[in-house]
C-alpha cells in the first residue's frame, strides 16, 4: 500500500508543490488549508491522483484534533508529516511593528506546528516509523532588520526540531528542519498584506529559490534510507549569501 504524506499549508507555495510531487509519485496525500476554493482547485488539478483535503486553521487546537481524528482509515497511518504552514507579517523594526502581527506569527509558526505535531506523533510512535519535516528559515539562524519575531519563531522551530529528534530516540522516527532562504512564493504578498508591487520589488534583479526547489529537496530527503537522518539543512539561492556584522560609529 502506498505511503501517506500529510502537508499543512498546502494550498500555495511550498506546500502546493510538495503535494504535487508526492501525489505524482503515487503517495496518498492529505493537504490542509484554510481556504475552501484553494483546496478544491488543488483537488481539481490533481484529480487523477490520491488527494484528500482538510479545511481548518492550525492555530485552533480543537479544529486540528477534530480534523485529524476525522481522517478516513486509508489516510490515518501517516508516514510523512510536513509542517509547512507558516507566515511572516510586516517588515517594520521592533518599535514600529504591530503586536497583532507578532501574535499571529507566534500562533501560526509555533503553536500551530506544535498542535499538528502533538496530534500526529502518537500515530508514528505506535507504528515505530515516520518522518517529520519542519519548515524553518535562514531567518532562524541570521538576523535581519524587520525580521524580529518572524526570525524568533523560526529559531524556535529549529530548536524544537532538535529536541523532538532527541525525545524520539528509539522510535525510528526521523526529523529534519529545512531552512530556506529567499524564495519567491506568496510569502511576500502575505508579509506585505496583499501589496503585490512591494512584494515583487523584493525579487527584482535576482533569481530566488522557487517553490519547486524546496518541494524537490523535501522529496529527495524523504527517499533517503531509513537509517539516514538529515538533522538540519540550510539552503539559499546562489545570489544570497552572508553579510558583515554591523558596527555603528
Q: What is the crossing angle of helices 36-45 and 13-23, to 10°?
A: 30
Nearest residue to 65 via CA among 7, 112, 30: 112
Largest CA distance in the chain: 64
In the chain the beta strands, taken as DSSP E runs, fall at: 4-7, 28-33, 51-55, 80-83, 130-135, 173-180, 183-184, 209-210, 232-235
Q: Are the C-beta atoms of residues 39 and 7 closer than 8 Å to each other? A: no
Asked if residues 23 and 49 have their Cβ atoms less than 8 Å apart, the reply is yes
**Is 150 an annotated catalytic residue?**
yes
Catalytic residue among 27, 150, 203, 242: 150
**How far apart are the C-alpha atoms of 109 and 113, rounded to whole Å?**
6
Query: DSSP letters along 92-104, please?
Result: --TTTS-HHHHHH
Where do the H-state alpha helices sit in 77-210?
99-105, 113-127, 148-167, 187-191, 196-201
Name the CA dihedral angle for 60, 61, 65, 67, rounded to a multiple of 10 degrees.
Answer: 10
Give catalytic residues, as residue numbers.
150
Amino acid at each position: 500500500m502506498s505511503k501517506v504524506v500529510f502537508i499543512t499549508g498546502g494550498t500555495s507555495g511550498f506546500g502546493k508543490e510538495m503535494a504535487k510531487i508526492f501525489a505524482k509519485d503515487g503517495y496518498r496525500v492529505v493537504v490542509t488549508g484554510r481556504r475552501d476554493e484553494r483546496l478544491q482547485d488543488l483537488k481539481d488539478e490533481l484529480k487523477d491522483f490520491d488527494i484528500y483535503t482538510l479545511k481548518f486553521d492550525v492555530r485552533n487546537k480543537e479544529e486540528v484534533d477534530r480534523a485529524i481524528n476525522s481522517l478516513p482509515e486509508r489516510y490515518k497511518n501517516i508516514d510523512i508529516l510536513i509542517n509547512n504552514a507558516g507566515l511572516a507579517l510586516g517588515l517594520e523594526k521592533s518599535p514600529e511593528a504591530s503586536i497583532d502581527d507578532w501574535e499571529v506569527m507566534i500562533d501560526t509558526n509555533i503553536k500551530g506546528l506544535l498542535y499538528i505535531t502533538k496530534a500526529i506523533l502518537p500515530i508514528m510512535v505506535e507504528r515505530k516509523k515516520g518522518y517529520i519535516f519542519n519548515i524553518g528559515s535562514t531567518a532562524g539562524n541570521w538576523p535581519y532588520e524587520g525580521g524580529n519575531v518572524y526570525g524568533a519563531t523560526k529559531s524556535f522551530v529549529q530548536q524544537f526540531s532538535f529536541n523532538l529528534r532527541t525525545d524520539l530516540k528509539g522510535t525510528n522516527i526521523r526529523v529534519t528542519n529545512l531552512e530556506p532562504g529567499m524564495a519567491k512564493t506568496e510569502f511576500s504578498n502575505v508579509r506585505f498584506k496583499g501589496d503585490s508591487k512591494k512584494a515583487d520589488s523584493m525579487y527584482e534583479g535576482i533569481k530566488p529559490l522557487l517553490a519547486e526547489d524546496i518541494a524537490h529537496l523535501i522529496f529527495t530527503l524523504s527517499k533517503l534510507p531509513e537509517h539516514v537522518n538529515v538533522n538540519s539543512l540550510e539552503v539559499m539561492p546562489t545570489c544570497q549569501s552572508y553579510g558583515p556584522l554591523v558596527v555603528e560609529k
